[in-house]
Amino acid sequence: MKPRKPSAKSRPTTLKSESLEPHRMHAEGKVLTTDQGIPISDTDNSLKAGVRGPTLLEDFHFREKLMRFDHERIPERVVHARGAGAHGYFQVYKSLEKYTQARFLTDPSLRTPVFVRFSTVGGSRGSADTVRDVRGFATKFYTEEGNFDLVGNNIPVFFIQDGIKFPDFVHAVKPEPHNEIPQASSAHDSLWDFVSLVPETTHMVMWLMSDRAIPRSFRMMEGFGVHTFRLVNAAGKATLVKFHWKPLLGNHALAWDEAQKLSGKDPDFHRRDLWESIEKGDFPEYELGLQLIPEGDELKYGFDLLDATKLLPEELVPVQRVGKLTLNRNPDNFFAETEQVAFCVANVVPGIDFTNDPLMQARLFSYLDTQLTRLGGPNFAELPINKPVCPVTNHQQDGFGRQAIPTSRANYHPNTLGGGCPVLANPASAFRHFQERVEGHKIRARSGSFSDHFSQATLFYRSLSKPEQEHLVAALEFEIGKVERVEIRERVVNQILVNVDPELAVRVARAVGVTPPKVSKPPKPPKAAGKKGAPSVEASPALSMENSPHDSIRTRKIAALVSDGFAGKELEGVRKALQERGATLELVGPTLSPVTSQEGREERPLRTFSTASSVMYDAVYVPGGAKSVAALRRVPLAVDFVREAYVHCKALALSADAAGLLDSAGVSDLEPAPTKGLDTTRGVVRSAKVETKGFGQLFAESIAHRHWEREAPPPA
């Protein structure tokens, strides 16, 4: 079998991918050997004393093969176990030397290799991709000055303020300890028990209940460094910074019902989407955004920039787009690369530094520590995927799995036996910790500046569009509705949600069968900060996904439902309109055998109604052709295809007779199909006749965003 080669379109040449080459094992044209390189000519029969006799201990090939198999598994990550990764590069647009000495941020000619791993948080390695969860967005920059890891999420805040609570939070959100239920879901008693008792979780919980937690694709979600970091320039001057990733394809979500169905129909939906887009040459791209805040302004905005449950509204400090990340190569081997990659918040390069955010401080320890168990010893930085592209020389030694062979007799500092080597780096290019002045009493306490837990939760909720708010309410009804203990439901509603938005609390209370709070006063306007006089905003449009770019349908997948007798010429026109905008049309038919158009041309469906479902597509098109449409109306799965696409608010194009499929699907809230020309009500493009002019274009234009207005009852 030929080795998998990246597709012609992918450009895999970065310094990192070259450095991986000596480690790649190419099987092409080689013979089978043991780990010791001994050629083997039979791997199907063990060595026995007589063909019906016992297997012999001396069969080293048999023992080695089983030994290797018996030890294939390593512990999965304690959180973020399920993930998918890709290689790529980062390039800064113009020098940021005013703020940082980090070379990869000051030299626009540099293409810094990266490896990115996206993940869900709560589920096991084999769990489904589209569950309601936070998504990890971890980037390893292999810079000339060592590895910088930006270990972020697709949500800009976190559940807790101090890392000492991380084990409690993770225990509460993961499957419950007595029966290990539920898998990859936060809809259970222990999580909501924790939330109801720990109000600092409120802001992040609102994000978790929002559409952000069910992204359409890893390629269509934002990323955030969450904490406030420091950039430090060559003169030692620091600037506080918040890191953002902005996807060039915009920010898009699934519908909740769709996400749940996808978990069964295609549990690898996000992983597959990432893989396929890179194979096709549709490289995912994100711009790096920075919010820069002068050192000393940590408390200016009425909350504490060291508090990871707070975001800094973009309307107060704009996000400057400073460079671009491109993912252009799939890993060759999932385990060797995606599973063994080890990120660590403490991996920073000269010019980037930490702050005293107590959540970040805990992370500085935890990531290094967890790899010892996960990767079996202290030498994980020598694994090919983790190895820096710059030289590594030090006096660390030994330990399980050591790869490097130090050649010097001196394994200590200072030394003369090794000529004093490795010598200490010049302080100007070495990592220097920012000389922050700190003093205080040893104290186990939380700063008063961390005490406002609700203002930003309210700000987030009120900044969402109406459909997004409705989705959030429905998510709360679902999640809290699954909580068995009524007292937990009571506490969530009457101690947490009521402080976010009283009307929201009343709605959820009714849905989950608890006493609604008494709402006497009109709700207060939201603001970013609880503190009077601080610069603040009453709404942050940037928090609504509907305000991110929605003008492109590039890389979207559209299904065309066909049977014999479909309108072939029309389909060609629609395909062209979609392709011109970078989208793909896939034919779904009754079988994988060719179908014949009414013009007599054969087309071969890529999928069938049993192997595909509307949840795998961004939009659905049913070409005209009376015979084809009549056949589709007799196939319940085809009718379901149309019904589901409608319910999930996706663009639909139904030509001529095909509009009748909506009746078969029980869609009754649309006016009758047009008798002439075109109609585009509620994202459903219908034409009176096949090949109506402008049909394909109108359809293409309605795909970029969901038609959430369908969720509201139709006007009376």
Is 153 among the residues known to form the active site? Answer: yes
Q: Does 207 bind ligand HDD (CB under 6 A)?
A: no
Residue of 16, 61, 87, 117 interacting with ligand HDD (CB under 6 A): 117
Q: 374 — phi, psi (to 5°)?
A: -70, -40
DSSP 50: S
Q: Does 77 bind ligand HDD (CB under 6 A)?
A: yes
> How big is the site for ligand HDD, counted in residues (CB under 6 A)?
26
CB of 159 to ligand HDD, least distance (A): 8
CA distances from 28 to 5, 361, 408, 512 (A): 12, 48, 38, 60
Residue of 152, 313, 589, 696 interacting with ligand HDD (CB under 6 A): 152
Q: Which of 539, 499, 558 is nearest to 201 (CA)?
A: 499
CB of 286 to ligand HDD, least distance (A): 15
Residue of 16, 61, 80, 387 interacting with ligand HDD (CB under 6 A): 80
Q: Does 355 bind ligand HDD (CB under 6 A)?
A: no
Q: Does 79 bind ligand HDD (CB under 6 A)?
A: yes
Question: Which residues from 20-59 bind ligand HDD, rule CB under 6 A?
Answer: none
Q: Does 208 bind ligand HDD (CB under 6 A)?
A: no
Beta-sheet pairing, 557-561 with 584-589: parallel
Q: Does 153 bind ligand HDD (CB under 6 A)?
A: yes
Number of C-alpha atoms within 13 angstroms, CB side, residue 159? 24
Q: Does 158 bind ligand HDD (CB under 6 A)?
A: yes
> Where are the extended beta strands (E) located within 154-237?
223-224, 229-232
Q: Between residues 125 and 554, which has the closer beta carbon with respect to ligand HDD?
A: 125
Contact criterion met (CB below 8 Å) for 210 and 135:
no
Only one of the segments 19-27, 76-84, 87-95, 184-192 lies at the binding site for ligand HDD (rule: CB under 6 A); that segment is 76-84
Residue of 84, 138, 508, 661 interacting with ligand HDD (CB under 6 A): 138
Nearest-angstrom CA–CA distance, 609 and 265: 12
Q: Does 462 bind ligand HDD (CB under 6 A)?
A: no
CB of 133 to ligand HDD, least distance (A): 12
Q: Does 78 bind ligand HDD (CB under 6 A)?
A: yes
Nearest-angstrom CA–CA distance, 120 and 134: 6
Q: Between residues 327 and 342, which has the closer beta carbon with respect to ligand HDD?
A: 342
Beta-sheet pairing, 229-232 with 223-224: unpaired
Catalytic residue among 80, 188, 244, 252: 80
Residue-wise burial string across 19-33, b where 16 or more C-beta atoms lie within 10 A, e elsewhere: bbeeeeeeeeeeeee
Q: Between residues 133 and 501, which has the closer beta carbon with respect to ligand HDD?
A: 133
Residue of 208, 226, 238, 583 interacting with ligand HDD (CB under 6 A): 226
Is 80 among the residues known to form the active site? Answer: yes
Q: Between residues 142 and 641, which has the closer beta carbon with respect to ligand HDD?
A: 142
CA distances from 136 to 48, 150, 697 (A): 51, 11, 36
Residue bearing tokens 């626009």: 108
DSSP string, 272-315: HHHHHHHHHT---EEEEEEEEEETT-TTTTSS-TT-TT----TT
State the CB neighbour count (10 A cutoff) for residue 59. 15
CB of 391 to ligand HDD, least distance (A): 25
Only one of the segments 51-59, 362-370, 434-442, 643-651 lies at the binding site for ligand HDD (rule: CB under 6 A); that segment is 362-370
CB of 563 to ligand HDD, least distance (A): 44
Q: Does 120 bind ligand HDD (CB under 6 A)?
A: no
Q: Does 343 bind ligand HDD (CB under 6 A)?
A: yes
* Helices and strands: H and E segment counts in the chain: 18, 19
Only one of the segments 35-43, 105-113, 355-363, 431-439 lies at the binding site for ligand HDD (rule: CB under 6 A); that segment is 355-363
Nearest-angstrom CA–CA distance, 590 and 639: 12
Please name the amino acid found at residue 152: G
CB of 110 to ligand HDD, least distance (A): 24
Q: Which of 41, 314, 261, 307 is nearest to 129 (CA)?
A: 261
Cβ-proximal residues to 667 (8 Å cutoff; 6+ apart), any chain: 642, 643, 646
Q: Does 198 bind ligand HDD (CB under 6 A)?
A: no
Residue of 151, 209, 537, 698 interacting with ligand HDD (CB under 6 A): 151
* Token couple for 460: 């987030």
Q: Between residues 199 and 683, which has the closer beta carbon with respect to ligand HDD?
A: 199
Question: Which residues from 287-316 bind ligand HDD, rule CB under 6 A?
Answer: 308
Q: Does 103 bind ligand HDD (CB under 6 A)?
A: no
Q: Which of 244, 411, 389, 400 is nearest to 314 (CA)?
A: 244
Q: Does 370 bind ligand HDD (CB under 6 A)?
A: yes
Q: Does 327 bind ligand HDD (CB under 6 A)?
A: no
Residue bearing tokens 């096709």: 280
Q: Between residues 83 and 568, which has the closer beta carbon with respect to ligand HDD?
A: 83
Q: Does 450 bind ligand HDD (CB under 6 A)?
A: no
The three-state (H, E, C) secondary structure of 539-566, written as one string:
CCHHHCHHHCCCCCCCCCEEEEECCCCC
CB of 482 to ligand HDD, least distance (A): 25
Q: Does 336 bind ligand HDD (CB under 6 A)?
A: no
CA distances from 427 to 266, 414, 523 (A): 53, 17, 56
Which uninterrupted H or E stretch holds 246?
strand 238-247
Residue-wise burial string across 528-539, b where 16 or more C-beta atoms lie within 10 A, e elsewhere: bbbeeeeebbeb
Residue of 136, 223, 323, 467 interacting with ligand HDD (CB under 6 A): 136
Question: Which residues from 611-640 bind ligand HDD, rule CB under 6 A?
Answer: none
Residue of 142, 148, 367, 460 interacting with ligand HDD (CB under 6 A): 367
Catalytic residue among 61, 87, 147, 153: 153
Q: Does 163 bind ligand HDD (CB under 6 A)?
A: yes
CB of 82 to ligand HDD, least distance (A): 10
Check the annotation: does 367 bind a ligand: yes
Check the annotation: does 374 bind a ligand: yes
Q: Which residues pair with 119 in a beta bridge?
A: 83, 136
> Where are the extended beta strands (E) located within 185-227?
223-224
The residue at minimum Cβ distance from ligand HDD is 136
Contact criterion met (CB below 8 Å) for 574 and 580:
no
CB of 119 to ligand HDD, least distance (A): 5
Q: 277 — phi, psi (to 5°)?
A: -65, -35
Only one of the segments 74-82, 200-208, 278-286, 432-440 lies at the binding site for ligand HDD (rule: CB under 6 A); that segment is 74-82
CB of 228 to ligand HDD, least distance (A): 11
Check the annotation: does 77 bind a ligand: yes
In sign, the C-alpha dihedral spanning 578, 583, 589, 591 is: positive
Could you list the residues known to form a binding site, using ranges: 77, 117, 166, 363, 367, 374
Could you list the residues known to form a binding site for heme, using ranges: 77, 117, 166, 363, 367, 374
Just list the catalytic residues: 80, 153
Q: Which residues bind ligand HDD (CB under 6 A)?
A: 77-80, 83, 117, 119, 136, 138, 151-153, 158, 163, 166, 226-227, 308, 342-343, 359, 362-363, 366-367, 370
